[in-house]
Amino acid sequence: MAISWDSIRAFALFFGPMLLPKAISYYRSVRSAPRRHGLSVQPIPPTIRVAIFMLSFFAFLLVVQTLPAASPENLFIKTQSRLQIPVDVLFNRISALRPNNVFTAWDHALRSKFVNMESRLLYFQYGPEVLAECVFCNANEPKSYFYYSLPSLLWPHIANLVALAIVTSPSLTGKYGSQWRTLATVASGILAALELYFVYSYNHQANARALRLDDIDFFYWSTRSYRLVALAVLDAAVVFALYLSSTNRAFVQPPSPAERIELVNRALVAARSRMNAVGVVKNTIMRDEDLRSRSQGYWQHEVRLMGEVMEEREVIDGVNDALSNRIDMQGITRDAETYTQNVLRPMQE
């Protein structure tokens, strides 16, 4: 059943005001998630870069398969023949197109089946391979062709699912890829189920009324193109999601408690190492006579310089104004005393 433009517009007008604010809110929450978790944008990790290249190349191959040169041969389009053309005339035209006018194995198989209209209609639904190679199928049982075509219908989905499983493997892409593993699997299953449903429920008898070549619905070739494009779009969506999540631009997963503890421990170890380094440098300065004299000379110069600055009239007026009007000295004194007690209490204990 076709859906008219008026129906689409009515649905958009009805659901748009409800869904649009939610979509905007979701987009903003996704964009602000990295800042909420204190994460900054980072370069693409090397493993993610490899996964993105692999999946992008696979999507490119899927798109290439939709080109006419890579599509299965359509005898009626190639010979510009109507559906009702006599079988001898059709295959005379085909013979003229073959090298040395020699039929292929598929040509012989299809010629024996094109003697009735039902087989020609099934040819448009299932394509040349199924009709030529199925030995137990017959036009009186159209669904037998569907059962035979199941492997050829499912193998592109299975191959694409394997590619998605590789690029979303935790061992290859870590948490950035594993977070999309379930969604990619579900989407692949939905695409496969939709294609099987459309092929199974397609009414091949609708082409029986086609009097011209342009009136024929070449369902098999159209479905094949839609399938490959849909799988390529799915792969492109996973690539884009991997890029966003791996660079912390969107779809950020907050660090787990264990990861946070590990990060804090690393920061503490780094701070302790710096403090130890400062202690070593200070101890070295105090033990070396030349360095000690240079350090004392620096601080004597600093004290003299700051004393001269603090004696200037502008500085004195500014300090007095700050102490009397802008700075709460009692609060600062109280905070300093609290800080001093917290620092000295462990030493006293």
Choice among 138-142, 163-167, 321-325 with the minimum mean pLDDT: 321-325
Q: Is residue 261 part of a domain?
A: yes
Q: Is residue 169 part of a domain?
A: yes
Q: Are residues 267 and 194 in the same domain?
A: no
Q: Are residues 213 and 151 in the same domain?
A: yes
Give the pLDDT score at 285: 78
**Which residues on neighbouring strands pair with residue 138, listed in sequence order?**
141
Predicted structure pTM score: 0.71
Q: How crowded is residue 5: how many other Cβ atoms within 10 Å of its Cβ?
A: 7
Q: Does residue 295 carry a pLDDT above 60? A: yes
- Domain boundary at 213, 246, 279, which? 246
Residue 347 one-letter amino acid: M
Domain region containing 261: 254-311
Residue 252 one-letter amino acid: V
| pLDDT average, residue stretch 83-104 | 89
| pLDDT average, residue stretch 3-14 | 69
Q: Is residue 7 part of a domain?
A: no
CA 162 to chain centre: 16
CA dist 98 and 49 (Å) reads 46
Q: Are residues 200 and 93 in the same domain?
A: yes
Which of 17-26, 68-77, 153-162 is most confident? 153-162
Q: Are residues 261 and 140 in the same domain?
A: no
Give the pLDDT score at 32: 62
CA dist 174 and 176 (Å) reads 5
Q: Are residues 199 and 267 in the same domain?
A: no
What is the overall mean pLDDT for the chain? Answer: 85
Q: How crowded is residue 227: how many other Cβ atoms within 10 Å of its Cβ?
A: 23
Q: Are residues 326 and 279 in the same domain?
A: no
Model confidence at 38, pLDDT cuts 50, 70, 90, reads low
Q: Are residues 112 and 160 in the same domain?
A: yes
The percent of residues above 70 in pLDDT, for the chain, comes to: 91
Choice among 9-18, 106-115, 175-184 with the minimum mean pLDDT: 9-18
Q: Is residue 325 part of a domain?
A: yes
Q: Are residues 301 and 337 in the same domain?
A: no
User: How far lies 77's CA from each of 72, 93, 260, in Å?
Assistant: 11, 11, 63
Q: Does residue 22 carry a pLDDT above 70? A: yes
Helices (H) then strands (E): counts for the chain: 14, 0
In order, the DSSP letters of 185-209 are: HHHHHHHHHHHHHHHHH--GGGGGG
Q: What is the pLDDT of residues 182-194, one digit of tens each?
A: 999 999 999 999 9
188-197 contacts: CB < 8 A, separation 24 or more? Answer: 188/157, 188/160, 188/161, 188/164, 188/234, 191/157, 191/227, 191/230, 191/231, 191/234, 192/153, 192/154, 192/157, 195/153, 195/157, 195/223, 195/227, 196/150, 196/153, 196/154
Q: What is the pLDDT of residues 200-228, one digit of tens each?
A: 999 989 888 888 888 898 999 999 999 99
Q: What is the pLDDT of residues 312-324, one digit of tens each?
A: 888 777 777 777 7
CB neighbour list of residue 290: distance below 8 Å, 6 or more residues apart: none
Q: Are residues 194 and 278 in the same domain?
A: no
Q: Does residue 152 carry a pLDDT above 90? A: yes
Q: Does residue 10 carry a pLDDT above 60? A: yes
Helix, strand, coil in percent for the chain, rounding step 5: 80, 0, 20
Q: Is residue 11 part of a domain?
A: no
Q: Is residue 3 part of a domain?
A: no
| pLDDT average, residue stretch 318-338 | 77
User: How far lies 121's CA from each of 139, 192, 225, in Å?
Assistant: 9, 23, 19
Give the pLDDT score at 52: 94
Report the SS3 class of residue 65. coil
Q: Are residues 63 and 173 in the same domain?
A: yes
Q: Are residues 55 and 174 in the same domain?
A: yes
Give the pLDDT score at 165: 94
Give the pLDDT score at 34: 61
Q: What is the pLDDT of residues 45-72, one digit of tens each?
A: 899 999 999 999 999 999 999 998 899 9
Q: Hey, what are 102's tokens?
A: 């020699």
CA dist 206 and 211 (Å) reads 12
Q: Is residue 27 part of a domain?
A: no
Give the pLDDT score at 1: 41
| pLDDT average, residue stretch 279-295 | 82
Q: Are residues 180 and 77 in the same domain?
A: yes
Q: Is residue 19 part of a domain?
A: no
Give the pLDDT score at 3: 55
Question: How many domains, the chain?
Answer: 3
Q: Does residue 334 carry a pLDDT above 90? A: no
Sign of the C-alpha dihedral computed for residues 190, 150, 137 and 210 taken in this order = positive
